[in-house]
Amino acid sequence: MNDSQLLRYSRHILLDELGIEGQEKLLASRALIVGAGGLGSPVALYLGSAGVARLTIVDDDRVDATNLQRQIAHKLSGVGELKAESIRQAIADLNPDVQVTTVTTRADDALLDTLVQQADVVLDCSDNFATRHAINRASVKHRKPLVSGAAIRFDGQVSVYDPRQALSPCYACVFPETAQFEETQCATMGVFAPLVGIIGSVQAAEALKLLCGVGEPLTGRLLMLDGRSMSWSEIKMSRNAACGVCGSC
């Protein structure tokens, strides 16, 4: 670490649990963020400002005026730009030392198979079950920890699925691919603006903890937030031996 980095990350270095060793781990780490919207915005900004060395951001969408209510990495001047590129610039304004790679095609199995393998931690900030399950399959295949978040209306949830841990469920253990879940989109259902910031910030915190080896991650626990009452509830989750994704691993 050079003098500039010692100053920039001094508040992390002052933490006994993190210190110089933990910060150096961040400065050598790689994170994959799938989704550059409401969840991806705080995730990318916090990981970038914390000094995660290399970020890969996947999103094929463009900034729309309706996004600005909650997707805090984007600006009015950026309406019409690709979201991944908009976030890349926002991170550069915060921390130019971070290397950001943008992928502006839709995340599919082939793309995720390549990108997940290269990452130290994967953050699912997407907004549909098909993409979430594709991310989960790649995470299980390559044994990469997955930090998953979701938010709609006033309700949010976040958890960590870590295939390196024998008892950890995967996303499909909790939300099976064969189950019929109703797809809800903020374009029709709405979303409370700060909710995505809260859930995305928790995702960023869990990713940083995993990269540094600090604290106790949310592995095996699903946190759910009711934004109306601002109350959290927790469900303990276990691995499903019959899971079609991780059951044979």
Residue in 215, 212, 136, 207 with CA at minimum distance from that of residue 169:
136
Residue in 5, 15, 11, 25 with CA at minimum distance from that of residue 213:
25
Q: Which of 125, 170, 173, 186 is catalytic?
A: 186
**186 is a catalytic site residue:** yes
CA atoms within 13 A on the CB side of 87: 38
Q: Can you read off the two tokens belonging to residue 71?
A: 């997707």
For the stretch 32-57, what's the b/e string if a residue is b when 16 or more beta carbons lie within 10 angstroms of its beta carbon?
Answer: bbbbbbbbbbbbbbbbbebbbbbbbb
The CA-based angle 243-216-132, given to 5 degrees, is 35
**Paired sense of beta strands 221-226 and 155-161, if any:** antiparallel
Q: How far apart are CA 84 and CA 104, in angstroms?
A: 7
Give me the active site residues, please: 186
